[in-house]
Amino acid sequence: MVGFPGPRVDADFAALMKDGIFGAILFKRNVGSAPETAQLCRDIKTRADRPFILSVDQEGGRVARLRGTPFTTLPPLRELGQGGDETLARRAGLLLAHELRAVGFDWDFAPVLDVDTNPANPVIGDRSFSREAEAVARLGVALARGLEAGGVASCGKHFPGHGDTTTDSHHTLPRLAHDLERLRRVELVPFQAFAQAGLASLMTAHVLFEALEPGLPATMSRRVLHGVLREELGFDGVLVSDDLEMKAIADHYSVEEAAVQGTLAGVDLFLVCHSAPVQRRAIEALVKAVESGRVPRERIAEAHRRLAKLEARFAHPAEDRLATLGDSAHRALAEGLASHFTGRDPTERLA
């Protein structure tokens, strides 16, 4: 799954689509007004002429690619989680799904399942529901169920937990020294709940966990992804990597090594979000690894099975649903959420 530079399909992205990439992720650089974004999504899906998944990071708070009228300005998950209200979280998921479907998205990389245990964390903070693992688990599952009830795949992130780091994996490779008992008591609790709920997908963290595998970030560790997530927690949904161009990976490993090692570890789909040459290198490395026998074809078939299941449920055609933004269902969802934020003008939070 790739990113591309601007508000139109360029030649590199078109060639990758033709070669069979699974889908694309859109960022602020790609989206404009609601009609412009909807047109871009329709253009991509029409050009693909096959099921083609479009994804986005739309969490609420500071991580929201779609902003301004007619999109709802949701508060950060921390604020959403203060009352511990699962009905509210599910309604937020339904609202997100309604708006994302309206402009053509199929997959939302939300909710954040990291537990906010470190006030000095530069990247998670108010993106987390709570400092309590059980609250994150309950509310994260509720929001994800709302998304999926609305026809958009959810993605809990960042496994096995980015909440207690003091550095940002966009810029460096974080390391956590917690023992396994602590991880099971705190960091892993929301991911276990997500697995048990049978939700669509999880995203890996580019973080070193010394108690699990001190020499490799979780994205590349079979002990973490297969041993803990698949075998211990029982998760059988899609496992997608965080962006392989983030410096936590790119400053320490080649994209070729990250893609091959990540596949062996259990990643089903890789995000490579910026550079077409780097995207090509990742693809070619996987092709060569399969042809040489380093990556068993059974591992590829396993990933395809999971991706096909997600695609069958959530890949929507190039349809015109823009008129649903502002319809009665949309207004009811937004107004229902606004009523929970007492003591404030709802338009400040929920426009």
CA dihedral over 119, 146, 82, 331, signed as positive or negative: positive
Could you read off the pLDDT of 228-280 as tens digits, one per residue? 999 999 999 999 999 999 998 999 999 999 999 999 999 999 999 999 999 99
Does the structure show a pLDDT above 50 at 327? yes
Phi, psi (deg, nearest 5) at residue 14: -60, -40
Confidence of residue 351 (pLDDT cuts 50, 70, 90): very low
Tokens, residue 124: 């998670």
Answer whether residue 311 is part of any domain: yes
Answer whether residue 348 is part of any domain: no
Give the three-state DSSP class for 167: coil
pLDDT at 168: 62
Answer whether residue 198 is part of any domain: yes
Answer whether residue 36 is part of any domain: yes
What pairing do the DSSP bridges indicate for beta strands 23-26 and 53-56?
A: parallel
Alpha helices for the chain (secondary structure H): 11-19, 34-48, 77-80, 86-103, 133-149, 180-185, 189-196, 222, 247-250, 255-265, 276-292, 297-314, 328-338, 346-349
Q: Which of 106, 107, 154, 160 is nearest to 133 (CA)?
A: 160
Does the structure show a pLDDT above 90 at 339? no
Task: Please give the residue that has the higher pLDDT: either 301 or 125.
Answer: 301
Confidence of residue 350 (pLDDT cuts 50, 70, 90): very low
Answer whether residue 132 is part of any domain: yes
Does the structure show a pLDDT above 60 at 200? yes
Could you read off the pLDDT of 15-66 as tens digits, one per residue? 999 999 999 999 999 999 999 999 999 999 999 989 999 999 999 999 999 9
Domain count, the chain: 1
pLDDT at 169: 65
pLDDT at 349: 43
> Which residues have C-beta within 8 Å of that of residue 156, sequence separation ≥ 6?
111, 112, 113, 140, 144, 190, 191, 194, 199, 201, 202, 203
Residues designated as active site: 170, 242
- Per the prediction, the chain carries an average pLDDT of 93
For range 322-337, the mean pLDDT: 93
Answer whether residue 343 is part of any domain: no
- CA distances (Å), origin 92, targets 76, 137, 184: 11, 16, 28
Cβ burial 263-275 (10 Å sphere, 16+ → b, else e)? bbbbbbbbbbbbb
Could you read off the pLDDT of 142-188 as tens digits, one per residue? 999 999 999 999 999 999 988 777 666 676 788 888 899 999 999 99
Q: Which domain holds residue 35?
A: 11-326
Residue 21: left (phi > 0), alpha (psi -120 to 50), or beta? Answer: beta
What pairing do the DSSP bridges indicate for beta strands 58-60 and 63-64?
A: antiparallel
Q: Residue 215 burial (CB < 10 Å; 0-12/13-18/19+)?
A: exposed
CB count in 10 Å sphere of residue 6: 10
Answer whether residue 87 is part of any domain: yes
- CA distances (Å), origin 68, targets 29, 196, 307, 347: 15, 36, 32, 12
Answer whether residue 75 is part of any domain: yes
Phi, psi (deg, nearest 5) at residue 9: -70, 120
CATH number, domain with residue 108: 3.20.20.300
Lookup result for tokens 């998921």: 93
